[in-house]
Structure 1
Amino acid sequence: MKNERLTWIDGLRGLACILIFTHHFLVSFFPSSYNGDPNTSRMIYGLDVKWANSPLSFIICGNFWVSVFCLVSGLVLGYQIYRAKTTNEVSSMVLKRYPRLCFPLTVVSFAAWIMMQFSLFPTAEVQKLSTSSWIVSAYGDKPSFLQFLNTTFVATWLNGDHTYSPAFWLMNIFLSGSFLAYLLALMTKNRKLLSILVFICFIAFFLYTDALFNFAFTLGVALAYRIFYFEPKKYAKYFGVLFVLVGLYLGGYPSEAYPQGFYLWLGVNVNQRYAPVWQFFHIVGALFLVWGIYCLKPLCTLFSTKLFRFLGKISYAVFLIHCPVIFSWSCFLFLKLYRACGRYMISAAASFLTSTILLILLSTLFQKYVEAPLGNLIKKLDHWLFLSE
């Protein structure tokens, strides 16, 4: 059994958040890179349309990296339970999960609420140029302070209300998936045959009910079980390369564009009784990618370097802040530049570059001066509660 921290997981999570930001930026300014519609193409030679059906589209496929994030979260949370030596450690993890997610989000939501009161999101003007329907999907109202409180502390976590960031629809999935991961890890901790039966039953249930993000969390915990209780086989590195390639290939399956070329044989992207086929492919692709990285020591070493560990450290801040940055600064600068030069590509590229720098800077400050102090406060409260008992 192992007790070391999986530092490479932090690096992978950080990369996933940066690529989710990239995806949302492109959906805002180059929607054809997502939907493959030539009528909304904004790149020369229709490169955005071609990209939508290219195997390289995994780089900017937001749903794939969300799947990676969910699976990795299940892996990390499950691994923490397997490492825990006392029941106090386990109960502390469970009790702290909601405030750890909610308190930093509250700060970002409040900032967005203030900006909404002063109409600081110029998305309507950008939408006329980019034709992206997603860019006008948020920040159009001016909610009251009571609505802000209800949304931030209740609605976001119960039904995925995304008033203060289009990315917040995932927060109820993150919260419920966290408790699911804790439950699965506790049910399978220090068990053998029962663990296999538990994982099979939960996987079958979530596939049958189309709860595919819960399916992703379950796969993450199952992988944590595999990593914690079993040493990697000597021949694992040979499968690692194949697993990574399969994962990236499935991760590039188009979410909205009609599958063509390399993906046509996998099936047609249609919404019928079951969840979209692309979501299933992305989750399975995430499993292959994470498992493949684990099998390849060079990749584990790469994702454990200072750069990726830094990205992992600020990953939650990046996730919380990136949409308000895109809908405010990115749109503002793009409009300024486009009015000055009339060049769409140049304006969007400059906006993306500066937005990336600003996002990393704000996320670093947010992690240091908001997220870390709040985390320390939660630890002190948790310690006080245990002492009072």
Structure 2
Amino acid sequence: MDKGPLQGDTVLYEVETLAPSHPPTTSQANRSASPGLWAGEGKMSTTKQENVKWVDGVRGFASLLVVFTHLCRSFDEDIFKPTSADGASPRIVQLPIIRILFQGRVGVTIFSLVTGYVCALKPIRQFRAGNHEAAFTSISKSALRRIPRLFLPTTIATVIIWFICQLGAFNVAKHSDSWWIDHTSPNSSPNIGEALKQLLYHIITTWTNQWNIYDANQWTMLPLLKGSIWIFMVMIATAYVKPRYRMMVEIAFFTYFYICNDPFGMQFFYGAFLSDLSQCPGHVSWCQARKWTSRFLAPVLIFLGLILASYPEEEPQWTRWSEVMKRIAAWIFPGDAKTARFYSGIGLQFVTLGIHFSPFVKNGLSNKYLLWFGKNSFAVYLLHGTLLRTVLVWLYYGVHVPADVMVEDKLERGMLPICGRARFWFWLPIWFVILYSLANLWTKYVDAWCARVTEKLVKYVFQEPNEDLDAEKRLLPQ
């Protein structure tokens, strides 16, 4: 069952090994004795399972990063700067690498890369095994599933948010002293007709121009949908292309989106390339025969990636390290590039390449706790913004707006101030428990229902290849 780009069960795939259909030549024998990157492009005779559960672990980590970044945007915007003021010493949470956890910008980028990786995983495995017909069937079904598996949960979430909005659930958020909470909290409509019109409008604009006033976080749904379709199209177009050239095509598309100033588009095709590379028997054998790739190369790549992803979103000129990165960006990124997003993307690519070379890190990311977070990542993404602007705001600001604050221009009379630090840190972990408890219920019931509806839809509209053959046979004269 296809779980969509933000959610999925543990995936195991097979790494094929070379099984030539005829005796190898001398040059082929020499190549197999010292396998290179492109060895193993023939059909397989034996298989070895490689665990890629780490992808779900990374996805679970990404959902946490997204929550953290929205908490920081709500209550501590200084984290997005290298220091709180020009010339001031940085706080611990503003230091390189550490700041990644709190500024969380790389979270959505991870979703893009994982989408490319997962969408390419099964077709590439089937192409390498020579099962092209099965691969085409798999791609067709996955493409059919993709839209309802994204559209149904996001629409249900939008309807719920719209309903509680009309009940005034965001009134306190609209009067808080956090501009980001105020900005992302919708206003209720004056009458039911206007409310229904707004609901329909924003369900549509989520998929047309990436805007949903009831849940601004849904802006990612359209790029993720487009990215998955791009990968499916490339898989079909390169079905009979040799693996080495398919990987070149993936890198070519990566380069194209880099030049086009699209850091999200880059991630889909880098993810597909990484998926292809991880299933290349010659490359896998080469890595297994050399310990230095996991002991030395992987840590260097991960460290370099974390440094790059640490680039601050605001005021990079305030510290020497970020100022140097800003100057380098002018040389390596396209004109008018979103420098912070590009650095997050390039940093993530180095990190995931390091993970690719490190079985130890893969095992760490495959632990049952991160897998649980990965299982619930889509639900967390859909629910956390609303719970932040309602439950957490009520815990920090109270459940009602005093009369002296209910004015047309709240800047004239002041805004609701946030609670003290003790109350802040007391309620935050409790809110996280509420968030993940509700997300787990959403995954168990709502998302499972969406999956069942999707499967029924696919079963209803999909025609298996053998059905075409049966239909042709019936048309033949007896």
Structure-2-length-normalised TM-score: 0.73
Which is worse superposed, 207-216 or 54-63? 54-63
| CA distance in structure 2 between the aligned counterparts of 1:54 and 1:243, rounded to whole angstroms | 16
Cα offset for 1:272? 9.1
Q: State the structure with bigger RCO (CA 8 A, min sep 6), 1 or 2.
A: 1
Quick one: which of 377, 382, 385 aligns to 1:323?
Answer: 385
Cα offset for 1:56? 1.3
Cα offset for 1:37? 7.3
Greater helix fraction, Structure 1 or Structure 2? 1
Quick one: which of 218, 239, 252 aligns to 1:201?
Answer: 252
One-letter amino acid of the counterpart of residue 26, structure 1: C
Larger radius of gyration: 2
Aligned to 1:118: 167
Cα offset for 1:170? 1.2
Structure-1-length-normalised TM-score: 0.88
One-letter amino acid of the counterpart of residue 209, structure 1: C
Mapping 1:119-134, distance limit 5 Å: 119-121=168-170, 122-126=172-176, 128=177, 132-134=178-180
Mapping 1:1-389, distance limit 5 Å: 2=15, 6-35=52-81, 38=84, 51-52=93-94, 54-84=96-126, 85=131, 86=134, 87-121=136-170, 122-126=172-176, 128=177, 132-142=178-188, 144-152=195-203, 154-189=204-239, 191-230=242-281, 231-232=283-284, 233=287, 234=290, 235-237=292-294, 238-259=296-317, 260-268=319-327, 273-336=335-398, 344-386=420-462
For the 8 Å contact 2:210–2:219, the answer to whether it is kept is: yes
Would the alpha carbon gap of residues 216 and 326 (structure 1) be closer, same or farther in structure 2, given more than 3 Å must change?
Answer: same
One-letter amino acid of the counterpart of residue 257, structure 1: E
For the 8 Å contact 2:303–2:351, the answer to whether it is kept is: yes
SS in 2 for 1:174: helix
For the 8 Å contact 1:53–1:254, the answer to whether it is kept is: no
| CA distance in structure 2 between the aligned counterparts of 1:124 and 1:136, rounded to whole angstroms | 5
**Two-structure CA RMSD over aligned residues (Å):** 2.8
Which is worse superposed, 236-245 or 378-387? 378-387
Cα offset for 1:19? 1.5
- The C-alpha deviation readout for 1:147-170, integer Å capped at 9, x for no partner, is 313322x21122111312221111
Aligned to 1:42: none
For the 8 Å contact 1:29–1:348, the answer to whether it is kept is: no
| CA distance in structure 2 between the aligned counterparts of 1:342 and 1:223, rounded to whole angstroms | 45
One-letter amino acid of the counterpart of residue 74, structure 2: S
| CA distance in structure 2 between the aligned counterparts of 1:362 and 1:183, rounded to whole angstroms | 36
Structure 1: gaps (5+ residues): 40-44
Would the alpha carbon gap of residues 151 and 342 (structure 1) be closer, same or farther in structure 2, given more than 3 Å must change?
Answer: closer
Matched-pair identity in %: 23
Would the alpha carbon gap of residues 263 and 36 (structure 1) be closer, same or farther in structure 2, given more than 3 Å must change?
Answer: closer
Tell me the number of residue pairs that the alignment of Structure 1 and Structure 2 aligns: 377
For the 8 Å contact 2:376–2:439, the answer to whether it is kept is: yes
- The C-alpha deviation readout for 1:275-314, integer Å capped at 9, x for no partner, is 1222111111111111212221122112212111111111
For the 8 Å contact 2:251–2:269, the answer to whether it is kept is: no
